[in-house]
Homo-oligomer: A and B are copies of this chain.
Amino acid sequence: MPRVKQFDENEVLAKAMNLFWKQGYSATSVQDLVSCLGISRASLYDTFGDKEQLFKKCFALYRKCNIESLTKFFQSHPNVKNGFSDLFNIAIQEAVHDKEKKGCFVVNITTELIPNDETLLQVLESNKRDIENLFYEYLKKGKEKGQLKTDKDLKSISSLFYTIYSGIKVVSKIEANKKELKDSVNIALSLLV
């Protein structure tokens, strides 16, 4: 009976995500979205609700992708030192090649919308917990396998690495200097003895 949707919902959502990512929430108008997504105003509202709902769906998508890829990444990197080294260096690589200077969606949105969005704060809190836990479990497993000799508190290292990761995503928006970033990350990695 019904006429079928003429666009792929996930494809459009990904486009919207990229636009919010690049421009932020406030600076992205519904008109911007309509122009970028290639669907009409009506379809946008029918499919995704209003601007805020669309945004939250984009953000959820980003989080999901991030957590999934991080989990897989750790699974495929059995050595914890190499793993973190690769993780940071990939972040640097991304930053250097990111012509649009989008940085990290989570970081951008944190600084733009906190303290003025309570429900988003809860999402960000659980995102932080999730990632720090992934870091911690990864470190713990590495230590159990004898890859780490350090007796430093692994929770604290997890949280420091999350802080550094966020910091990289800020700093590299200003100036993505590959050598500078690599050198400073190497110093941080020297904590993993």
Q: Which positions in A face B, CB cutoff 8 Å? A: 22-24, 26-27, 100-103, 107-108, 110-112, 114-116, 121, 124-125, 128, 152-153, 155-157, 159-160, 162-168, 170-171, 173-175, 180-181, 183-188, 190-191
Chain B, Cβ-Cβ closest to A114: B173
Chain B, Cβ-Cβ closest to A171: B163
With A165-B167, A166-B167, A190-B191 known as contacts, the answer to whether A111 contacts B116 (CB < 8 A) is: no
Q: Which B residues are in CB contact (< 8 Å) with A171?
A: 128, 159, 162-163, 166
- Number of copies of this kind of chain in the complex: 2
Given contacts A110-B111, A112-B112, A156-B180, 9 further A-B contacts (CB under 8 A): A24-B26, A27-B116, A111-B111, A111-B173, A115-B173, A128-B175, A152-B187, A159-B183, A188-B191
With A174-B124, A191-B187 known as contacts, the answer to whether A112 contacts B108 (CB < 8 A) is: yes
